[in-house]
Amino acid sequence: MAAGNVQLPKITEGFLGPQAKFDVYGLSTVSHSDPVVYMQEDQPEVEIIMGTQPGTRVTIKLISYERKKECTEYVLIRALGPNYLFLIRPPLPGFYKFQIYALPPDEAGPQMLGVYNYLVYCPGSFGDNAFPKQYPPWKSGCYLHSSFQLLRPYVKVDQEWNPLQQTEPGVFEGLVDFSQGYASGSKAKVNVKFAGNNYQTLLEYSL
């Protein structure tokens, strides 16, 4: 469907695009400078990339415009170098408000401020494919592999710990057998130890 044939919903003036702190925080749009993003009929997901300053913390919110429902679990946040990559996989056709929040390292927070808002239009339907739950350490600098120096990474399913092995610097891999009859709703968590004796959770999958 051509973008010109799509009727945009009513959006509050000033909501779309960069907000007051966007330039102050040294942020930039890398992939999509237009705040209205049109996906194609056969496109199940779209990746939006934002440039940040070192140490910037981010979080996001995805809201279905028609259903007035938050569906942030359909966005995967990944960090690669100075950029944050947001992979959006809308569960149903329609418009989605995608809101990015950020906080530089020299501000204590804890409240992050809205820095950029997109309106994403998805014409296709590709089923319910939510991403795993993402915890703050994941959002602070992880991609498909972690950019931190990880110590003893594990995948924990219920009370069973499955170690991951380092295959190259910064890359950990492993196999977990999910055919062992785990109860429906069991959680599989990617846990890592950065320092000290405590493990932190990066990702959480529902089985």
Q: Is the pLDDT of residue 146 over 70?
A: no
Better-predicted residue by pLDDT, 88 or 181: 88
The two three-digit tokens of residue 12, written as one number = 């509050």
Domain with CATH 2.60.40.10 in the chain: 3-122
Does residue 152 carry a pLDDT above 70?
Answer: no
- The Cα–Cα gap between 168 and 28 comes to 32
Tell me, what's the pLDDT at 141? 59
- 3-class DSSP assignment, residue 1: coil
Distance CA 154, CA 3 (A): 45
Query: pLDDT digit string (tens) for 35-47?
Result: 999 999 999 999 9
Please give the helix or strand (H or E) that residue 29 lies within, else none.
strand 28-29
Q: What is the mean pLDDT of residues 137-159?
A: 60
Buried (b) or exposed (e) across 6-45, using 16+ Cβ within 10 A?
Answer: eeeeeeeeeebebbebbeebebbbeebeebbbbbeeeeee
Contact 30, 51 (CB under 8 A): yes
Question: How far is 79 from 199, CA to CA, in rounded Å?
Answer: 21
Q: Alpha helices of the chain — where are they, by DSSP H?
A: 136-139
Torsion, CA 183, CA 188, CA 102, CA 76, rounded to 10: -90
* Fold (CATH) for 3-122: Immunoglobulin-like (2.60.40)
Query: What pLDDT does 68 receive?
Result: 94
Region 44-70: mean pLDDT is 94
pLDDT at 73: 92
What pLDDT does 149 receive?
45
Q: Which of 80, 32, 36 is nearest to 58 (CA)?
A: 80
Residue 2 has what pLDDT? Answer: 54
Write down the pLDDT at residue 3: 65
Q: How many CA atoms lie within 13 A of 140 on its CB side?
A: 11
The larger pLDDT score, comparing residue 38 to residue 189, is at 38
Per-residue pLDDT of 1-12, as tens digits, reads: 556 688 999 999
Q: What is the pLDDT of residues 127-145, one digit of tens each?
A: 888 888 877 777 665 544 4
Q: Of 80, 186, 90, 74, which is closest to residue 140 (Cα–Cα)?
A: 80
How confident is the model at residue 147, as a pLDDT? 36
As given in the structure block, the two tokens for residue 147 are 């950019």
Report which of residues 200 and 114 the model is more confident about: 114
